[in-house]
Amino acid sequence: MVPHTTVILSHRSVNGIPFGASVQAIHDRLGEPDKARENYTGELEMLYATSIYRCYANRFVECTVPDAGRFQVDEVTILSIFDWLGAQPDSIDRARFRISAGFGIAYDYRDPTNGSLTLFEKGRWDGLLATGV
């Protein structure tokens, strides 16, 4: 079986689900989540297998997926997303994330054997990037 490729359109969509989509639109596309919970910031987190879709005020704002090695960003196939992010002109390492605000991608490398990506809508991570934490 060929592993699934995560398809990212920067600041627009993840796997065909557009940022700003409603919770119901995500349910219509993916079915009922394996688990749903409210996190400490008041966002609804919907867990589907290994991915987490986050909504705030009934709007899809962020998604976290594991680094399974197969990504397409803005129609370009990426072989090593961590290295590719590091080569982007706006890439910074902050709070144990490698972040490209221009692409809306943050790579969480706190666990070097099990990285993950958080894909976000435009402006979502601006607070973290501005603080320099």
CA dihedral 5, 9, 35, 29 (to 10 degrees): -90
> Per-residue confidence at 2, pLDDT binned at 50, 70, 90?
very low
Tens of pLDDT, residues 7-29: 999 999 999 999 999 999 999 99
pTM score of the predicted model: 0.88
Considering the chain, what is the average pLDDT of its residues? 89
How crowded is residue 132: how many other Cβ atoms within 10 Å of its Cβ? 8
pLDDT at 133 over 70: no
pLDDT at 49 over 50: yes
Quote the tokens at residue 88: 């982007």
Bridge partners (DSSP) listed for residue 52: 47, 64
Tens of pLDDT, residues 64-98: 999 988 899 999 999 889 999 999 999 998 888 99
